[in-house]
Amino acid sequence: ITIIIADVVEGEAEGEPQILGAAELIDVANFNAESTLVQKVADQVPTIQAAPVEGEVARYSPTTKRHGFAWLKVLAAVLVPLLVISGGGFLWYSYTQEQYYVGPHDQYLGIYQGIAEPTFGLPLSHLVQPDATLISDLPTYYQEQVQQTIPASSLDGARATLVMLQEKAAECIQIRNSATASPSPSPSISPTGPTSSTSAEVSADPSPTATPTASVDC
């Protein structure tokens, strides 16, 4: 740092000019040559790109973050509903596969896993145990129940229902066979006069064999 104290006066200045401080070290006569040399050296030094100032970074950074958050919002708006729908569909399908029911398998009985009602036209059940019991051998009431399907909460429950239906069918078959095989009443001949009389009277048996009555509607 060079401090120069001068006094401004009128007229001619007295004395000679003096160069003080750091300027005293400069050769004024060769100043132009030295300036040219410094310029040449400066031209040979590669230019270094200055790092952006803090203001520039602050100017552009919020814009980049804003675009990133916008993409995240769009992605979340698309993925979240898909995940919810997929998860709900998986849970619903898992629930249906824990259900069982007894229903018609052609003209026979069968145990199914799932639910009888399709969803969007897709079946949600499949046969797990066929049976040789004919639906037509069941009482009328149970025939209607089978056509509408009889639900069960487990496979064991469905098998218990199937056993009950087999017993009802066997009972109906037995009743039908008994009704078909029962004999019709036969007439009896009893004498009406003396033992020597040749005339006889044909009378019906007062107590014919009764046809068994079905305990269920077969």
Contact between residue 17 and residue 24 where contact means Cβ atoms under 8 Å apart: no
Its sign, for the CA torsion 137, 143, 115, 163, is negative
Residue 57: both structure tokens together: 């970074």
In a shared domain, residues 154 and 175: yes
Give residue 201's pLDDT. 42
Specify if 201 maps to a domain: no
What pLDDT is recorded for position 137? 95
Would you state the pLDDT for residue 106?
A: 93
Q: Do 113 and 149 fall within a single domain?
A: yes
| Ordered per-residue pLDDT tens for the chain, 218 residues | 666 777 777 777 777 777 776 666 666 555 555 566 556 556 665 665 555 556 555 555 655 555 667 788 888 888 888 888 888 888 888 888 999 999 999 999 999 999 998 888 888 899 999 999 999 999 999 999 999 999 999 999 999 999 999 999 999 999 988 888 765 555 554 545 444 443 334 344 444 444 444 455 77
The number of C-alpha atoms within 13 Å of 126 and in the hemisphere containing its C-beta is: 3
Position 124 in a domain: yes
Number of domains within the chain: 2
Verify that 80 and 130 share a domain, yes or no: no
Residue 2 located in a structural domain = no
78: left (phi over 0), alpha (psi -120 to 50) or beta: alpha
For residue 156, the enclosing domain spans 100-179
User: What is the rounded distance in angstroms from the CA atom of residue 30 to the CA atom of residue 71?
Assistant: 65
Cβ 65 vs Cβ 73: under 8 Å: no
The pTM score is 0.50
- For residues 148 and 169, state if they share a domain: yes
What is the spatial distance between Cα 126 and Cα 140, in angstroms, rounded to a whole number? 26
The full DSSP string for 157-178 is HHHHHHHHHHHHHHHHHHHHHH
Q: Where are the beta strands (DSSP E) in 106-174?
A: 108-119, 122-134, 150-152
